Copies of this chain bind each other. A is one copy, B any other.
Amino acid sequence: MSTSRDRTARATSAAGGIQGVRARARQEITVAIKDEARRQLAVDGAAKLSLRAVARELGMVSSALYRYFPSRDELLTALIVDAYDSMGEAAERADADLPNGASPVTRWVAVCCAVRQWGLTHPHEYALIYGSPVPGYTAPTTTIRSAARVGLLLIAIVREACESGRVTLPPLADEARPEAERIAADLAPELPPEVAAALVAAWAQLYGLLGFELFGQFNRVVEERAVFFEQAVTRLAQGVGLTE
């Protein structure tokens, strides 16, 4: 009788920690699944990611996997969120690693290059998030926070540059003003409308450059891709009005 009490106690304190062994195991298995899936993703690409193969590799039967992810798409969604976060973190770290007084242009270029570097290191994950997310599909709310990290960082850089008077941009054509004002109001009210609009455009263009490099469109066209990219994103910085 005392033994059984001991066992119960152990289950909810010593061995299991605060959550109990089961909750702990669930968490561990969940990340194991994601890790293995990410591994297969990096090798074969998203199209060939197979729940059965993941399960097989983990020594479990495929149906067991559905206790952790209700479908293959849900697994992919989880990988997407992780990828956004991984990329966002890389970008933020690149910015944070800069010496304190770094100029806005320097920060902008550093962040862009960090994004590129992340993409080069994780091409399939990049394809997963910026490739072809089924046209018509809108990301679940849980992803948008992670997805926005790089964008928010770029906004912050430009905002700070703005506040110290290091952003100048010619005024907008009349027909483009209203939408620019809308964008600025939604995205960064502190920014002049023409800067906010230019920033959104530059943001998209950055991923155009990177996508072309990663997806082979630059094959036999651009060779020295690092210098080409740096040159292009420097001009992008000028395009949003960053002057130093």
User: Residues of A with Cβ closer than 8 Å to B?
Assistant: 45-47, 123-124, 126-128, 130-139, 172-173, 175-176, 178-179, 182-183, 186-187, 197-198, 200-201, 203-209, 211-224, 227-228, 230-232, 235, 239
Contacts and interface: CB of A to CB of B under 8 A. Distances in A.
Which of A127, A128, A204, A211 has the most B CB atoms < 10 Å from its CB?
Answer: A204
30 contacts: A45-B132, A47-B47, A123-B135, A123-B136, A130-B211, A130-B217, A131-B132, A132-B132, A135-B215, A135-B216, A172-B231, A173-B231, A176-B230, A182-B223, A183-B221, A186-B220, A186-B221, A197-B228, A200-B222, A201-B231, A203-B212, A204-B209, A204-B213, A204-B218, A204-B232, A205-B208, A205-B209, A207-B212, A208-B211, A235-B239
| Chain A interface main SS type | helix
Contacts of A222: 179, 183, 200
A211 B212 CA distance: 11
Given A183-B221, A212-B207, A201 B232 contact: yes
